A = this chain, B = another copy of it.
Amino acid sequence: MVNAFVRKLSGLADLAEEDVATLVASTRQTRHFPARRDLIREGDRPGPVFVVLSGWACRYKILPSGTRQITSFMLPGDSCDLHIAILDEMDHSIQTITKAAIATISRPAMEDMLDRSPRIGRALYAAQLIDEATLRAWIVSMGRRSSMERVAHLMCELYVRLQGVAGASPSSTVELPVSQLLLADALGMSPVHINRVIRRLREAGVMEISRRSLRITDPVGLVHVAGFDENYLHRRLKTIATIY
């Protein structure tokens, strides 16, 4: 059984069997963390590369006023920048959202892996470019999308990302282990308003959030209100709209 990391990278490059073995070996050393535990904090010296094998995490930054902004979600299979060690210190923190299994890849191990397999390197670079594209998509959302569109867009993103990694059969329902307060911190809105927007989306019949899960009742409609163009996720796989 390969892990989420391998599943994700397999979708980004043609990995050989030995690559898979290398990746599995490199992520053998895993630690389990409870929810809401910082893996690394702003100002810390960057350490090894983190790989999320199960559970959710997020990158965030606290402002002087005390408010928080989440800059990205890390889902199973996601890892942080492969060359993070180049920098002097972290400019943001990383925290688990749920219980999570985190593997760490030391810098020498990472460099060894990049040296040995160009395919792994290619997959990791592709992953990084997708992460960047996602950051840009968030900027677009925050800058020019209405709150309805913004929430819908994030749900589309998370849905597609989860489908891409889970390898599970397409389902209209995915687990969404985030509180509305967390969504607020991710979307730059107030928790109260997030709640109202979710309600409007439910009343519009496109999606529902309940019991920590997201159910997409009208995929086409959701994609439409979100103005979602999944090209930025650079997946040449089935699209959310064509699954159904």
Structural contact, B188 and A142, CB atoms closer than 8 A: yes
For A186, the closest partner residue in chain B by CB is B143
- Counted per complex, copies of this chain come to 2
Known A-B contacts A88-B234, A91-B133, A145-B63; A140 and B69 likewise in contact (beta carbons under 8 Å) = yes
Q: Which of B84, B135, B136, B231 contacts A89 (CB 8 A)?
A: B231
Interface residue from B43, B61, B131, B145 paired with A140 (Cβ < 8 Å):
B61
Q: Is the CB of A71 within 8 A of B231?
A: no
Given contacts A86-B122, A144-B67, contact A61 B136 (CB under 8 A): yes
Contact with B along A63-104 (1 / 0, CB 8 A): 111011101100000000101101111011000000000000
A21 at the binding interface (Cβ < 8 Å):
no
Residues of B within 8 A of A50 (CB): none
Instruction: Indicate whether A162 reaches chain B with its CB closer than 8 angstroms.
Output: no
Q: In this assembly, does A175 line the interface, its C-beta being within 8 Å of a C-beta of chain B?
A: no
Q: How many residues of A contact B (CB 8 A)?
A: 45
Compute how far the CA of A89 lies from the CA of B232 in the bound complex, rounded to whole angstroms.
9
Distance between Cα atoms of A145 and B61 in the complex (Å): 12
B234 and A129: CB pair below 8 A? no
Is the pair A91, B143 in contact by a Cβ cutoff of 8 Å? no
Q: Chain B nearest CB: distance from A224 CB in Å?
A: 10
* Among B122, B132, B143, contact of A81 (Cβ-Cβ < 8 Å): B132
CB distance from A90 to the nearest CB of B (A): 9
Asked whether B139 lies within 8 Å of A71 as measured between CB atoms, the reply is: yes
Q: Does chain B have a CB within 8 A of A236?
A: yes
Minimum CB–CB distance for A239 against chain B, Å: 14
Q: Is the CB of B227 within 8 A of A71?
A: no
State whether A88 touches B132 (Cβ < 8 A): no
Enumerate chain B residues within 8 angstroms of A61, measured Cβ to Cβ.
Answer: 136, 140
* Nearest B-chain residue to A236, judged by Cβ: B88
Query: Can you report 21 residue pairs joining A to B where beta carbons are below 8 Å apart?
Result: A61-B136, A65-B144, A69-B139, A69-B143, A72-B136, A81-B129, A81-B132, A83-B129, A84-B129, A87-B129, A88-B234, A91-B136, A91-B231, A91-B234, A92-B136, A92-B232, A132-B135, A135-B136, A139-B139, A142-B188, A143-B187
